[in-house]
Amino acid sequence: MHKRLQSGARQGMHMATQAAHTPPEAALHQQPDAVVVRFAGDSGDGMQLTGGQFTLSTALAGNDLATFPDFPAEIRAPQGTLFGVSAFQINFGSREIDTAGDAPDVLVAMNPAALKTNLSALKPGGLIIADTGEFTKRNLDKAKYKANPLEDGSLAKYDLLAFDISALTIEAVKPFGLGNKDALRSKNMWTLGLALWMFDRSREPIHEWLRAKFKSKPDIADANIAALDAGHAYGETAELSGPLKQLHLPPVPTEAGLYRTITGAESVSLGLVAGAQLAGLPMFFGGYPITPASAILHHLARLKEYNVTTFQAEDEIAAICAAIGASYAGSLGVTSSSGPGIALKGEAMGLAIMTELPLVIVNSQRGGPSTGLPTKTEQSDLYQAVYGRNGDAPMPVIAACSPSDAFECAIEACRIATQYMTPVMLLTDGYIANAAEPWKVPDPASFEPFPANFLTEKNGPANESGDTTLLPYKRDSKGARPWIKPGTPGLMHRIGGIEKQVDTGHLDYSPDNHQAMTDARQAKVLNISVPDQAVSLGEAGGKLVVVGWGSTYGPIHQAVRRARAKGLDVSHIHVRHIWPLPGNLGELLKSYDKVLVPEMNTGQFKTVLRDQYLVDAQPLNKTSGQPFYIHELEEAIEEALA
């Protein structure tokens, strides 16, 4: 169970829910133990903010949760258009939550375009909350509706709650003397207020947040608070006559401790800071703006007191090259990007491999190829991570499976980079980077330090004149060469991208030497100590194993749990160490009759597994830019076992 952070809380929750045989998300009509809500509106409507604050209130209420922010690549897409819709989905409950949920129980649609693009996802019988004030002729046209769907009976199979949120908001903020345009900006807070009432949440933390956010504009803070309160009050009134019912989801039984919500980008940043501290090194972070990786640069830029230097370079290549330069000079060099940027960094990764310098490369994957889907998630850079460089260029690869897991993965990447003198790639993706989940704050003292060592004296045998020599490429028992900081008295030496002579590091193109050095680089990486692979759910051996990596953890875990509840013989294995693979993985896979590998790509890890173990790994692929639904995986499991 070591896959997910050392989270006793999560593991405890696994057991509790397994015993309870959790049914699929129940419809809102019964008292459910989990609910999926999707807020959808125009990109300018503040849906991500609404979702974020609803997430916080959910966490404070002690529910487990997972979120899925889904927004367009355009910053300010034309108002009211179908491609300008921004959505935020949250799944929360009084049991363990692994995914952002398949189908929403509640859809908040702030305009016709939001309804149109999100309706197909809504559960039959689900609740639609719509702002009639935005269902104007003009907006209906923009969303390509011929008739108003709120009025033509086309939504009959859902519960519909349609009222003029726009007008109610304007009414609520009237005392603050704002113009209509400014008043309507508080619409999202009105809606949030209603949602807080629906799920019996305290408004106080949101009040506090608004006061802090608009510290310098108290009247704006007050207007937003008034809108929030009005939305909340409306819920109480509307309950008397309508489909709106207040629900209370009790807190999840959870291990005691301090919790916060965390996104993958925050978690990677904090893990890198922790990793550098455990190595006893200053961190140098070279980055270049790219979606969805920039958030890491933003977080680290605010942490200078943790001995972090951030450098926004002129391009992706300069970002990694500066990080390599900093590692050469004795810092822990880190760079981060997404697919296209990672491709640009490829040659420099080879340099770090050749010069055997520590480096952490974070790849927040997105849909590709080329520019692809900048704001959508995919796992299609695995080949690039494992194989994507010129020459035989072995490099360790680690994949985080959730926002909180990314913290420990980042520490692991720092450990391997500094202990083995190698670049390491940490894979996350757009989903992990943006999604939030509750995180039990770990105690930094619980992590084993791995202090970096620098060579301070010559390490070679004596030459003819009896002087000790320097061997910059002499390897230790792990196969790592010494780290020698320029500025160290007397240890002058030259390194570079040309093939190095064994031990001395001098230029050497000779056949035997290149063979020896290629072998040494390969052996160093393959011999990296990674923990044995555990079974995430189920047992070793059986009819079927579902093997995942990265952000598919949640849906696979839920699907396998549900299948097992039906009595099916299926287990879940989730691989963190993509390269080198855990030593026992081959034997483990061979203990099952069938191996199914769901991936958000066309079958990349499946190919690696087939190549490494000659197992008949079967692919299950999805490349829609959206995470797997649980039911898709459940169906695949049932089919494989039919």
Partner 1 sequence: MNAPTKIETTLKDWETDQEVRWCPGCGDYAILKAVQRTLPQLGADPSNTCFISGIGCSSRFPYYMETYGFHTIHGRAPAVATGVKLANPDLDVWLVTGDGDGLSIGGNHMLHVLRRNVNMQIMLFNNEIYGLTKGQYSPTSRIGTRSPSTPIGSVDRPANPCAFALGAGARFVGRGFDVSKNLPDVLKAAHAHQGAAFIEIFQNCIVYNKDVFNDFAAPKGAEDRQLWLENGQPMLFDGGTKGIALDKDNLCLKVVDVADGNWEAAGVIVHDVTNRSIAHMLVELPFGPFPMALGVLYDDPRPTFEMGVAGERERATSGKQANLAKLLGSGQTWTVSGTAQDPI
Q: Single out the residue of 109, 398, 491, 517 in contact with partner 1 (rule: CB under 8 A).
A: 491
User: Is 390:343 a contact under the CB 8 Å cutoff?
Assistant: no
- The least CB distance from residue 84 to partner 1, in Å, is 30
Instruction: Give 325 or 372: the residue with its C-beta nearer to partner 1.
Output: 325
- The least CB distance from residue 205 to partner 1, in Å, is 7
Per-residue tokens: 619: 């692919």
Per rule CB under 8 A, is residue 306 in the interface with partner 1? Answer: yes
How many residues does this entry show for the chain?
642
> Site residues for partner 1, window 314-353 (CB under 8 A)?
314-315, 317-319, 321-331, 333, 347-348, 350-351
Instruction: Give 17 or 552: the residue with its C-beta nearer to partner 1.
Output: 17
- The least CB distance from residue 265 to partner 1, in Å, is 13
Count CB-CB contacts under 10 A for residue 233. 15
Q: Single out the residue of 43, 94, 191, 277 in contact with partner 1 (rule: CB under 8 A).
A: 277
Q: Which stretch binds partner 1 (CB under 8 A): 311-319, 523-531, 563-571, 588-596?
A: 311-319
- Going from the C-alpha of 611 to that of each of 462, 524, 616, the distances in angstroms are 46, 20, 10
Give burial (CB, 10 Å; 0-12/13-18/19+) of 467. Answer: exposed
Per rule CB under 8 A, is residue 257 in the interface with partner 1? Answer: yes
User: Is 602:621 a contact under the CB 8 Å cutoff?
Assistant: yes
> Site residues for partner 1, window 352-371 (CB under 8 A)?
355
Instruction: Give 324 or 600: the residue with its C-beta nearer to partner 1.
Output: 324
> Site residues for partner 1, window 16-55 (CB under 8 A)?
16
Per rule CB under 8 A, is residue 200 in the interface with partner 1? Answer: no
- Going from the C-alpha of 158 to that of each of 109, 134, 161, 184, 632, the distances in angstroms are 13, 20, 10, 27, 23
Distance CA 532, CA 414 (A): 19
> Site residues for partner 1, window 423-452 (CB under 8 A)?
441-445
- The least CB distance from residue 366 to partner 1, in Å, is 24
Instruction: Give 507 or 614: the residue with its C-beta nearer to partner 1.
Output: 507
Give the three-state DSSP class for 92. Answer: strand
Per rule CB under 8 A, is residue 272 in the interface with partner 1? Answer: no
> Site residues for partner 1, window 507-526 (CB under 8 A)?
507
> Site residues for partner 1, window 450-489 (CB under 8 A)?
485-489
- Going from the C-alpha of 549 to that of each of 81, 128, 401, the distances in angstroms are 36, 35, 7
How far is Cα of residue 570 from the mean position of the Cα atoms in its chain? 26
Instruction: Give 62 or 340: the residue with its C-beta nearer to partner 1.
Output: 62
- The least CB distance from residue 16 to partner 1, in Å, is 5
**Which residues on adjacent β-strands are paired with residue 40?**
87, 109
Signed CA dihedral, 167, 170, 172, 174: sign only? negative
Distance CA 169, CA 23 (A): 38
Phi and psi dihedrals of 506, rounded to 5? -70, 160
Count CB-CB contacts under 10 A for residue 401. 26
Instruction: Give 162 or 262: the residue with its C-beta nearer to partner 1.
Output: 262
**Among candidate residues 338, 346, 336, the one with its CA nearest the CA of residue 370:** 338
- The least CB distance from residue 332 to partner 1, in Å, is 10
| Total interface residues for partner 1 by CB under 8 A | 83
- The least CB distance from residue 98 to partner 1, in Å, is 17
- The least CB distance from residue 462 to partner 1, in Å, is 15
- The least CB distance from residue 157 to partner 1, in Å, is 38
**Backbone Cα Rg of the chain:** 27
Q: Which stretch binds partner 1 (CB under 8 A): 185-193, 247-255, 290-298, 594-602?
A: 247-255
